[in-house]
């Protein structure tokens, strides 16, 4: 075979070979040449070869020139005395198989174009195999999906070494189709199980890939939504599992539970928890099964516990979950870091929900209020602007707690009776204390904070202050607001003249720093 | 109402004729002219607007008006020539007739007075005063004399009056002691007495004349002397002076001088000079006022009085900076006074020199630029103070350029002399940079100072904007200096004074510039936080900006347009920027210092600061047990930076001495060796402990002080427990801990302020505003307004149509009357003709008859 240099030449050569193979069975050996190019180092050539393979085997599949049924070994068939057609079909089927193997290898190729092309080619074969099955149906109307092939594709996607997020984004298009989604869920469950069985130490990339794939599966909310299929079929038998949303849900649940039962890295745990309440829990057939995962996450502490709160709340609220010591744990979650984490808004939104019940005992609410105000002593201004109204709202909801800010007949105390180390809110003696912290915050350097803290000087007004707009407040917003605020009149000036960069002698800067 | 009406009537009375007066205005109109629209039945609340009217009068008025305007136009409709009255002020309604007359008269006089011909020299008459030519008097040759003359001429001498008018007794009585002896010899007659008097007065007159001549001579001599001295005094421009002398005759120069002096003296009856104590007292009062205003703002009370605060520039400041300059000088002079309390010894040492400086400066430079030399002397005195009386060891600013200052002083002089005197204000930052780059510190200062001088707002119109821009450029330049390698902090140190002066002139634009740089810094940080969830500590420039903002604006205000954002910015720095290196620690500590300085007066509470200090103490603690405190965001309990400040080398600990931290560390100065780094670590810890102490002092009055400092206390205990620090640090720890351990004030339970008892709900009727009848109710305000306008327009339109119709009627009437008149005339003429014809005919017939009869 003459080989021109450059992809153009290769393309033409491949085109000729392809036509030759398709034209007559005598030229079948040219397939080897095509497959040889598939092994090429050059990206362009590989792509050309993949395209040629796609056309070749696509045409062969449509013509039915591949062997149907369990594939016998090549040597036995060649040696045997069956008809030439059968021999040809078996031989061609073997070439098809080696082509598929190569394509799977290409899924982890260094070039994204090659990967993408390999993926789309494989998916085309999946479609064609579905329409022209290579297995004999067991009974009439038996649904034949090329499970083996598809599983191999999914396995290729969930690579152990490479980050396949781009390819997975491409694969997401196929997940629009209901049958593909269903089989993806099954294949993913399978793959995750197998990989975790095989490897004692699963690399992070695999978890990331798996999470990307899993999180891109989104179920339709209604049964009627299931009508788009990748592999076209004439009639839809009712017995076919793919058409039932229930089956989808089962598969979905199996997939996630199979995934979450493993010990995930913390960063991934966070990611899962972020999307859990929104895109996972509503689609599970039996959401309460998530309790194990959530309890485990809730016990981890820190940000993960905060995130787990959301899922727990849904389970408690909608699925009648009984959770012992919920408020005690929530109380335990309150530490100075809640004002600094990224999920502050979500946490306080939920905390507001949990504490909105008017049936909570006064000691509990008082403990929360006292704890929050104690923590407020370490909070940045944007958090203070949110948490101060929050505390005031607590006091408004529970008139019994107003003694925290108004105790006209109380006697003077030696020390704050509140015990910050106590884990049980019932024993923290918060009800006997007062919110001196808010009084201290009235001297905060930011005028709005001190204003917000000064609310307790007067009797609290009856309507609650909505904290929803304050939840997402950032320091930058506060800064911008201060910048835009116009004072009346001109800007007041310092009347003591400046003398140097470090200021006057009694300034801290001048005392502790030198210019040279 | 009635009063107003009658007043209006009175004012109108002068202009219009009585017939045209509105009947309403007159107190009792002619009852025959009044027409009353009788109401059939009274309606409550309805205003009868046209119950009484005087149709006849108003019609007469209308007709009168039309005859004056419309008829005139009508009559002149075909005429193209116009009559204009060119007499002065004929058409001006603002002048009263008397004024008009006066002006006209004056103009006429002027016209007559003007020369008929410029070639006729003898025309103008000579004016005299007391017989002397006014031209002579104007030369002021004998000012002294004329003055004394007038004095005496004004009041007759006592003797004269006595002699002439016989004011006997008093005079005789007065005379007796003098002339007792003479009178005793021979009593003189009245005639003799008078003669004697005359002789005496003549003699006196002669004497006076002699005296006057002597004085004249003396003045001339003095004049000459003065000329000589003057040439000595103003030797700088002798050429122009000489030329002047040649051109003008001598007395002219003197005249000029005298006149100038006279004008000056007369123009300003000035106040008494104030004594030192009074000035100081005034200053103190002013300062007290300012302090009171500051306190008010700190408590956030009374926003209204805030506006008055910057008026300390001047009560009627035109904002061109002119008056401010004066004020500025006073301010500085005050500062001198006050500084004497703070740094007395340095002031005394430097005073002599700085004054000398000022004198030289003043002679060299624009006299207007009085603030700058002042500002300078301040600086120099600062430097000198360091030079002259060396500070005790361990004083933080000891290291401040000791070697260079003595040379620097001279270098500044040199810079002053070498540089050109005028600089154009830079239009862009690049221009300023090119002006300043490559110059020494002193030269840069002088350049900036001169730019300010040359472009002082009082000199030209656009200068204000230029200087406002200069502030922004300087700020940018300072940012550049701070990010340079190595940062040029000394120049910044000096430029701050210039910034302060500019800021005093233009507070608004200065605050805008500072806000701009702060926003820039925050934007950058926000971007980093969005992208990575954390941000690195910004460069030294941002820290310098924050410090400068605190020096230009009062930091104790409850709310301030610049200071409050700066506070938020610092809070961000302390909460969002993780500590990754020693450099970050130094930067963080600097921010802490600035932060604490900001609230040093107001003693406001800064949670972030306590957190940050806790974190620093934590990373400096060698043995952590982690009980009793929790770290917050930028710090972590474990990790590679959790032992950043721990020093384990015994020797380094022993050799360490407490010294001020250099800001160059914040830039990223690399430590030469490990020892230096360790020493810096210990210094950081020392600063941190000092700040903890400062915090403890500031916040000890806060209600939950104990809860706030609990973690700090726990960590300090750990520090002490290890006993691994140098003794000085141990001591510092002890004292900080002692401050924190202050006995907790007794906790008094909170009590809300008593609110007013809520009044019982009463069933008072709901009052709804009843609108006028005939109006649509319940529509929105805009709708009502629109409807009102439509209605008004309709009414006006109708009125205009009616007026036009009446005009037309009037015109038609006029035309008709004209036609009638014409017809009548014609008839009359025809009749006349017929008459004459008839007479002729009659005569002719009579003649004929006569003929026939004959």
Neighbouring C-beta atoms of residue B598, cutoff 10 Å: 23
pLDDT given for residue B796 in this prediction: 97
Instruction: Inspect the interface and report whether the beta carbons of B504 and A410 lie closer than 8 Å.
Output: no
CB contact under 8 A, A511 and B690: yes
Taking all residues of chain A, what is their mean pLDDT, rounded to a whole number?
80
Sign of CA dihedral A250, A252, A253, A254: positive
Structure tokens at B298: 């700190």
pLDDT at B644: 79
Considering CB atoms only, which of B544, B607, B747 is closest to A436?
A: B747
pLDDT digits (tens, 9 = 90+) for B534-552: 788 888 888 889 988 888 8
pLDDT range class, residue B331, cuts 50, 70, 90 = very low
The number of residues making up chain A comes to: 516
Confidence tier at A385 by pLDDT (50, 70, 90): very high
- State how far the Cα of A316 lies from the Cα of A294, in Å rounded to an integer: 12
Q: Taking CA atoms, what residue in A is nearest to B612?
A: A378
Cis ω on the peptide bond leading into residue B445 (within 30° of 0)? no
Residues of B with CB below 8 A from A492's CB? 293-294, 297, 306, 309-310, 507, 553-554, 557, 560
Interface contact flag, B397 A505, Cβ < 8 Å: yes
Quick check: B700 pLDDT over 80? yes
B712-729: average pLDDT? 81
Nearest to A414 among B375, B590, B746 (CB): B746
User: B633 vs A340: CB contact, 8 Å cut-off?
Assistant: yes
Q: How far is B399 from chain A (nearest CA, A)?
A: 7
- CB-based contact B753 A459, cutoff 8 Å: yes
A516 CB neighbours in chain B (<8 A) are 399-401, 489-490, 662, 664
Determine the distance in angstroms separating the CA of A375 from the nearest CA of chain B, rounded to an integer: 10
In sequence order, the 6+-apart residues with CB closer than 8 A to the CB of B271 are none
Q: Residue A387, Cβ neighbours under 10 Å: how many?
A: 25
The enclosing H or E element of B662 equals strand B661-662
Give the Cβ contact number of residue B210 at 10 Å.
Answer: 10
Higher pLDDT, B445 or A381: A381
pLDDT tier, A329 (very low <50, low <70, confident <90, very high otherwise): confident
Angstrom distance (rounded) from CA B580 to CA B642: 9
Q: Looking at CA atoms only, how far is residue A113 from chain B in angstroms?
A: 29
**How many Å apart are CA A390 and CA A351, to the nearest integer?**
10
User: B522: which chain A residues are within 8 Å (Cβ-Cβ)?
Assistant: 476, 479
Residues A459, B751: Cα–Cα separation, whole Å? 9
Which residue carries 């001109």 as its tokens?
A490
Contact at CB, A488 and B572, closer than 8 angstroms: no
| Residue A126 Cα distances to A93, A100, A252, A471, B292, angstroms | 15, 11, 22, 49, 85
Tell me if B750 and A405 make a contact (CB, 8 A cut-off). yes
Beta strand ranges found along A379-516 (DSSP E): 513-514
**Are B630 and A413 within 8 A, CB to CB?**
no
Counting beta carbons within 10 angstroms of the beta carbon of residue B793, is it exposed (0 to 12), middle (13 to 18) or buried (19 or more)? Answer: exposed
pLDDT of residue B797 exceeding 90, the answer is yes
Question: Which of A151-155, B181-185, B762-766 shows the lowest per-residue confidence on average (mean pLDDT)?
Answer: B181-185
Q: Which tokens sit at B503? A: 């800021």
* Gap between the Cα atoms of B173 and A42, Å rounded: 143
Residue B415: per-residue pLDDT: 62
Element (DSSP H or E) covering residue B680? helix B674-699
Please state, in angstroms and rounded to a whole number, the distance separating the CA atoms of residues B753 and A458: 5
- Minimal CA separation from A415 to chain B, in Å: 6
For the stretch A33-59, pLDDT in tens is 777 777 777 777 777 778 888 888 888
Write down the pLDDT at residue A139. 60
Residue in A with minimal Cα distance to B747: A413
Interchain CB distance below 8 Å, B610 and A378: yes
- Residue B178: predicted pLDDT: 47
Q: Which residues of B touch A490 (CB under 8 A)?
A: 307, 310, 507-508
Mind listing the pLDDT tens digit for each residue in B834-853?
989 988 889 888 898 888 88
The pLDDT of B493-514, averaged and rounded, is 87
CB atoms within 10 A of CB B289: 14
pLDDT for B404 equals 42
Whether residues B632 and A405 touch (CB distance < 8 A) is answered with no
Distance from CA of A363 to the nearest CA of B (A): 17
Neighbours of B670 (CB within 10 A): 8
Quote the minimal CA–CA distance from A447 to chain B in Å: 6
Q: Enter the tokens of residue B581.
A: 């290196």
For residue A514, list chain B residues with Cβ-Cβ distance below 8 A. 396-397, 399-400, 659-663
For residue A497, give the nearest of B331, B558, B705 by CB distance.
B331
| Burial of residue A321, with CB atoms counted within 10 A of its CB: 0-12 exposed, 13-18 middle, 19 or more buried | middle
At A353 the pLDDT is 86
Give residues with Cβ within 8 angstroms of B526, minimum separation 6.
A474, A476
Q: Give the pLDDT score at A205.
A: 79
Q: Over 80: is that where the pLDDT of A25 sits? A: no
Residues B504 and B471 sit within 8 Å (Cβ to Cβ): no
pLDDT-based confidence at residue B122 (cuts at 50, 70, 90): low
Tokens 């017989």 appear where? B131
Q: How many CB atoms lie within 10 A of CB B166?
A: 10
Q: pLDDT class for B317, splitting at 50, 70, 90?
A: very low
Percent of chain A with pLDDT over 70: 91
CA distance A327 to chain B (A): 22
Q: Which residues of B touch A480 (CB under 8 A)?
A: 519
- Residue among A494, A501, A514 minimizing CB distance to B399: A514
Q: How far apart are CA A465 and CA A482, in angstroms?
A: 22
Q: Phi and psi of B661, rounded to 5°? A: -75, 140
- Of the given ranges (A263-272, A470-479, B284-293, B399-408), which has the lowest mean pLDDT? B399-408
Question: Residue A334: CB partners within 8 Å, gap ≥ 6?
Answer: A368, A371, A372, A375
Q: What is the pLDDT of residues B248-264, one digit of tens each?
A: 455 677 888 877 777 66
B397-429 pLDDT, tens digit each: 433 334 444 455 565 666 666 677 777 778 888
Q: What is the pLDDT of residues A96-108, one digit of tens each?
A: 888 888 887 777 7
Task: Check CB contact under 8 Å for B747 and A494.
Answer: no
Tokens of A342: 């990224």
Predicted confidence band of residue B789 (pLDDT cuts 50, 70, 90): very high
Examine residue B486 and say whether the peptide bond preceding it is cis (omega within 30 degrees of 0): yes
- Give CA–CA dist A96/A287, Å, rounded: 43
Q: Which residue of A has its CA nearest to B756?
A: A459
Pairing of strands B52-53, B35-36: antiparallel
Task: Check CB contact under 8 Å for A415 and B747.
Answer: yes
Rounded CA-CA distance B40/B222 in Å is 102
Per-residue pLDDT tens for A79-95?
Answer: 666 677 777 777 777 88
Nearest CA in chain A to B569: A479
Res. B218 pLDDT band, cuts 50 70 90? very high
Name the least confident of B13-27, B46-60, B763-777: B13-27
| Residue A239 neighbours by CB under 8 Å, 6+ apart | none
Produce one character per residue of A469-481: b if its CB has 16 or more CB atoms within 10 Å, e if not. Answer: ebbebbbbebbbe
Tokens 């002789």, residue located: B199
pLDDT averaged over every residue in chain B: 74
b/e burial code for range B62-80 (CB count within 10 A of at least 16 → b): ebeebeeebeeebeeeeee
Residue B772 reports pLDDT greater than 80: no
Q: How many whole angstroms separate alpha carbon A335 and alpha carbon A346?
A: 16
Interchain pair B332, A497: CB under 8 A: yes
* Residue A388 CA: distances (Å) to CA of A385, A394, A438, B486, B751: 6, 10, 8, 45, 18
C-alpha A417: how far from chain center: 45
Tell me whether residues B661 and A486 touch, CB distance under 8 A: no
CA distance A344 to chain B (A): 13
Burial of B26 (C-beta count, 10 Å sphere; 0-12/13-18/19+): middle
DSSP code for B538: P
Cα(A205)–Cα(A168) distance, integer angstroms? 13
For residue B148, the model assigns a pLDDT of: 45
Q: Which residues pair with B52 in a beta bridge?
A: B36
B212 has a pLDDT exceeding 60: yes
Give the E-state strand segments of A237-390 in sequence order.
none
Size of interface A-B (CB pairs under 8 A): 305
Which residues in chain A touch residue B290, judged by CB atoms under 8 angstroms apart?
Answer: 495
B539: left (phi over 0), alpha (psi -120 to 50) or beta: beta
Report how far residue B86's alpha carbon sits from residue A378's, in angstroms, rounded to the nearest whole number.
87
DSSP B739-763: HHTPPPPPBPPP-PPPPPPPPPP--
Strand ranges inside B594-657, DSSP E: none
* Candidates B350, B551, B697, partner chain A, best to mutate (most A CBs within 10 A): B551
Backbone φ, ψ for residue B809 (5° rounding): -60, -45
Q: How far apart are CA B736 and CA B716, in angstroms?
A: 8
- Predicted local distance difference test score (pLDDT) of residue B531: 83
With 80 as the cut, is the pLDDT of residue B44 above it? Answer: yes
Question: What percentage of chain B carries pLDDT values higher than 90?
Answer: 11
Burial class (CB in 10 A: 0-12, 13-18, 19+), B110: exposed
Bridge-based pairing state of the strands B661-662 and B132-133: unpaired
Environment class of residue A505 by beta-carbon count within 10 Å: exposed (0-12), middle (13-18) or buried (19+)?
A: middle
Per-residue tokens: B274: 């104030």
pLDDT value for B670: 67
What's the pTM value of the predicted model, to 2 decimals? 0.61
DSSP states along B245-270: HHHS-HHHHHHHHHHHHHHHHHH--P
For the cut 90, the answer to whether the pLDDT of residue B343 exceeds it is no
- Residues of B within 8 A of A339 (CB-CB) are 632
How near does any CA of chain B get to the CA of A323, in Å? 28
Q: Is A513 helix (H, G, I), strand (E, B) or coil?
A: strand
SS3 A272: helix
Selecting from A342, A420, A516 the residue whose C-beta is nearest the C-beta of B399 gives A516
Nearest to A493 among B287, B503, B569 (CB): B503
Q: Residue B555: its chain A contacts at CB < 8 A? A: 494
């Amino acid at each position: 075979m003459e080989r021109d240099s450059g992809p153009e030449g290769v393309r033409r050569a491949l085109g000729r070979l392809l036509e030759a193979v398709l034209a007559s069975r005598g030229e079948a050996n040219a397939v080897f040449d095509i497959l040889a190019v598939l092994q090429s180092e050059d990206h362009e050539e590989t792509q050309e070869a993949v395209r040629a393979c796609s056309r070749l085997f696509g045409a062969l599949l449509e013509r039915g020139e591949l062997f149907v049924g369990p594939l016998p070994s090549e040597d036995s068939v060649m040696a045997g005395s069956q008809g030439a057609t059968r021999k040809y079909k078996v031989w061609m089927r073997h070439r098809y198989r080696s082509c598929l193997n190569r394509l799977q290898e290409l899924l982890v190729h260094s070039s994204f174009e090659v990967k993408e092309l390999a993926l789309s080619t494989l998916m085309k074969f999946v479609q064609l195999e579905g329409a022209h099955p290579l297995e004999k149906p067991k009974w009439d109307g038996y649904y034949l999906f090329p499970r083996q092939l598809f599983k191999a594709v999914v396995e290729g996607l969930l690579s152990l070494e490479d980050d396949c997020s781009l390819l997975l984004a491409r694969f997401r298009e196929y997940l629009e189709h209901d049958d593909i989604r269903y089989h993806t869920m099954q294949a993913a469950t399978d793959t995750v199980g197998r990989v975790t069985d095989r490897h004692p130490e699963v690399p992070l990339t695999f978890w990331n890939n798996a999470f990307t794939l899993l999180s891109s599966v989104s179920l339709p909310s209604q049964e009627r939504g299931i009508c788009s299929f990748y592999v076209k079929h004439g009639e839809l038998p009712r017995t076919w599992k793919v058409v039932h949303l229930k089956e989808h849900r089962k598969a979905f649940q199996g997939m996630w539970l199979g995934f979450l039962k493993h010990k995930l890295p913390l960063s991934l745990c966070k990611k899962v928890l972020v999307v859990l309440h929104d895109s996972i829990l509503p689609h599970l057939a039996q959401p309460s099964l998530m309790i194990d995962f959530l309890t485990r996450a809730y016990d981890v502490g820190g940000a993960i516990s905060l995130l787990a709160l959301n899922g727990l709340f849904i389970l408690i609220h909608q699925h009648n979950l009984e959770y012992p010591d919920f408020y005690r744990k929530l109380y335990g979650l309150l530490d100075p870091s809640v004002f600094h984490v990224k999920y502050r808004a979500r946490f306080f939104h939920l905390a507001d929900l949990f504490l909105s019940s008017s049936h909570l005992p006064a000691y509990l609410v008082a403990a929360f209020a006292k704890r929050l105000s104690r923590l407020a002593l370490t909070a940045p201004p944007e958090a203070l602007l949110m948490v101060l109204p929050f505390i005031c709202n607590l006091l408004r909801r529970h008139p019994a707690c107003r003694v925290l800010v108004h105790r006209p007949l109380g006697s003077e105390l030696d020390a704050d009776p509140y015990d910050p180390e106590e884990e049980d809110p019932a024993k923290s003696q918060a009800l006997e204390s007062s919110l001196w912290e808010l009084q201290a915050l009235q001297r905060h350097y930011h005028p709005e904070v001190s204003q917000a803290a000064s609310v307790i000087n007067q009797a609290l007004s009856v309507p609650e202050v909505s904290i929803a707009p304050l939840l997402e407040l950032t320091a930058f917003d506060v800064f911008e607001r201060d910048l835009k605020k116009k004072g009346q009149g001109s800007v007041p000036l310092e009347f003591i003249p400046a003398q140097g960069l470090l200021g006057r002698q009694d300034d801290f800067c001048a005392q502790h720093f030198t210019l040279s | 109402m009635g009063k107003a009406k009658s007043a209006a009537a009175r004012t109108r009375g002068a202009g219009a004729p009585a017939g045209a007066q509105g009947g309403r205005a007159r107190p009792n109109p002619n009852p025959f002219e009044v027409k009353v629209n009788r109401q059939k039945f009274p309606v409550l609340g309805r205003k009868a607007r046209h119950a009484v009217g005087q149709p006849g009068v108003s019609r007469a008025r209308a007709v009168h008006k039309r005859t004056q305007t419309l008829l005139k136009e009508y009559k002149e409709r075909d005429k193209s020539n116009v009559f204009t009255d060119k007499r002065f002020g004929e058409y001006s309604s603002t002048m009263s007739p008397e004024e008009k007359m006066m002006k006209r008269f004056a103009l006429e006089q002027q016209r007559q007075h003007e020369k008929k011909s410029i070639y006729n020299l003898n025309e103008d008459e000579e004016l005299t005063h007391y017989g002397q030519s006014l031209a002579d008097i104007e030369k002021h040759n004998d000012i002294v004399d004329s003055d004394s003359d007038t004095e005496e001429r004004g009041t007759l001498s006592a003797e004269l009056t006595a002699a002439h008018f016989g004011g006997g007794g008093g005079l005789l009585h007065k005379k007796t002691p003098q002339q007792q002896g003479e009178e005793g010899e021979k009593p003189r007659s009245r005639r003799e007495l008078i003669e004697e008097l005359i002789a005496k007065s003549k003699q006196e007159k002669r004497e006076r004349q002699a005296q006057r001549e002597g004085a004249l001579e003396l003045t001339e001599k003095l004049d000459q002397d003065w000329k000589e001295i003057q040439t000595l005094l103003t030797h700088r421009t002798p050429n122009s002076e000489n030329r002047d002398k040649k051109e003008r005759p001598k007395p002219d120069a003197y005249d000029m001088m005298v006149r100038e002096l006279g004008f000056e003296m007369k123009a300003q009856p000035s106040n008494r000079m104030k004594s030192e104590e009074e000035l100081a007292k005034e200053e103190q009062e002013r300062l007290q006022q300012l302090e009171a205003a500051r306190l008010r703002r700190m408590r956030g009370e009374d926003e209204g009085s805030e506006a008055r605060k910057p008026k300390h520039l001047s009560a009627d400041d035109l904002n061109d900076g002119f008056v401010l300059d004066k004020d500025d000088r006073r301010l500085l002079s005050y500062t001198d006074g006050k500084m004497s309390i703070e740094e007395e010894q340095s002031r005394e040492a430097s005073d002599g020199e700085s004054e000398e400086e000022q004198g030289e400066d003043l002679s060299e430079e624009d006299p207007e630029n009085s603030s700058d030399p002042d500002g300078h002397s301040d600086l120099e005195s600062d430097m000198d103070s360091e030079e002259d009386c060396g500070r005790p060891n361990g004083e933080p600013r000891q290291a401040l350029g000791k070697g260079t200052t003595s040379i620097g002083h001279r270098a500044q002089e040199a810079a002053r002399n070498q540089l050109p005197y005028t600089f154009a204000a830079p239009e862009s930052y690049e221009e300023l940079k090119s002006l300043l780059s490559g110059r020494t510190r002193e030269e840069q200062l002088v350049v900036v100072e001169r730019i300010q001088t040359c472009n002082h707002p009082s000199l030209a119109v656009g200068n204000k904007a230029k200087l406002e821009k200069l502030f922004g450029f300087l700020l940018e330049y300072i940012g550049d200096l701070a990010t340079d390698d190595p940062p040029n902090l000394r120049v910044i140190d000096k430029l701050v004074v210039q910034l302060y002066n500019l800021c005093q002139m233009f507070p608004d634009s200065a605050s805008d510039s500072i806000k701009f740089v702060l926003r820039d810094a925050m934007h950058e940080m926000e971007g980093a936080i969005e992208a990575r969830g954390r941000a690195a500590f910004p460069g030294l420039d941002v820290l310098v900006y924050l410090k400068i903002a605190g020096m230009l604006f009062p930091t104790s205000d409850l709310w301030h347009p610049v200071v409050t954002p700066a506070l938020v910015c610092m809070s961000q720095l302390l909460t969002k920027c993780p500590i990754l290196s020693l450099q970050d620690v130094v930067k963080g500590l600097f921010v802490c210092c600035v932060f604490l300085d900001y609230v040093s007066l107001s003693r406001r509470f800064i949670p972030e600061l306590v957190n940050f200090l806790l974190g620093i103490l934590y990373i400096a603690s060698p043995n952590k047990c982690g009980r009793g405190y929790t770290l917050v965001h930028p710090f972590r309990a474990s990790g590679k930076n959790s032992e950043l400040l721990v020093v384990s080398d015994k020797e380094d600990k022993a050799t360490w001495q407490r010294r001020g931290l250099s800001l160059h560390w914040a830039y990223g100065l690399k430590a030469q060796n490990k020892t230096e780094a360790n020493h810096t670590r210990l210094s950081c810890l020392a600063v941190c402990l000092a700040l903890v102490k400062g915090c403890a002092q500031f916040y000890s009055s806060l209600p939950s002080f104990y809860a706030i400092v609990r973690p700090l206390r726990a960590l300090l205990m750990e520090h002490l427990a290890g006993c691994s620090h140098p003794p000085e640090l141990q001591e510092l720890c002890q004292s900080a801990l002692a401050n924190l351990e202050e006995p907790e004030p007794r906790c008094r339970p909170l009590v809300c302020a008593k609110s007013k008892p809520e009044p019982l709900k009463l069933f008072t009727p709901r009052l709804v505003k009843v609108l006028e009848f005939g109006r649509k109710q319940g529509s929105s305000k805009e709708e009502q307004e629109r409807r009102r306008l439509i209605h008004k327009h309709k009414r006006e339109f109708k009125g205009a149509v009616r007026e036009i119709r009446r005009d037309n009627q009037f015109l038609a009437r006029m035309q008709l009357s004209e036609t009638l008149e014409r017809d009548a005339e014609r008839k009359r003429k025809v009749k006349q003709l017929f008459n004459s014809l008839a007479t002729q005919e009659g005569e002719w017939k009579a003649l004929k008859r006569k003929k026939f009869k004959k």
